[in-house]
Amino acid sequence: MTSPKSDHIPFQVVLASASPRRLELLRQIGIEPGEIIAPDIDETVLTRELPRQHALRLASEKLACIQREAFVIAADTVVAAGTRILPKPARLLKPKNI
């Protein structure tokens, strides 16, 4: 008895990130995104937002920005000390107005 042949539905992989490290990690596991889109979202930490909530919210907002019929990979990295979210290194290097 033969099983019915299923049609292969191709899909494009979209990386919703400008992170070179995230792209490198995907390539290490054999995933080459067909498109890389860096959504412009506000990454300000909300009042009383915990690190996990913050990362999930940012990833969800990045995903919502991608208007494609595709498999979208959206993520965010948060560094924290306990419940305190630490600033990203790029933000630490920005010049301050005196």
Lowest mean pLDDT among 38-47, 76-85, 89-98: 89-98
Phi, psi of 81 (to 5 degrees): -115, 100
Annotated active-site residue 40? The verdict is no
Average pLDDT, the chain: 86
Contact 52, 82 (CB under 8 A): no
Domain ranges of the chain: 13-93
Class in CATH terms, 13-93: alpha beta
**For residue 51, is it left (φ>0), alpha (ψ between -120 and 50) or beta?**
alpha
3-state secondary structure of 81: strand
- pLDDT score of 11: 79
pLDDT band at 68 (very low <50, low <70, confident <90, very high): confident
The pLDDT tens digits of the residues spanning 5-33 come to 444 546 789 999 999 999 999 999 999 99
Among 7, 40, 42, 76, which one carries the catalytic annotation? 76
d(CA 73, CA 47): 27
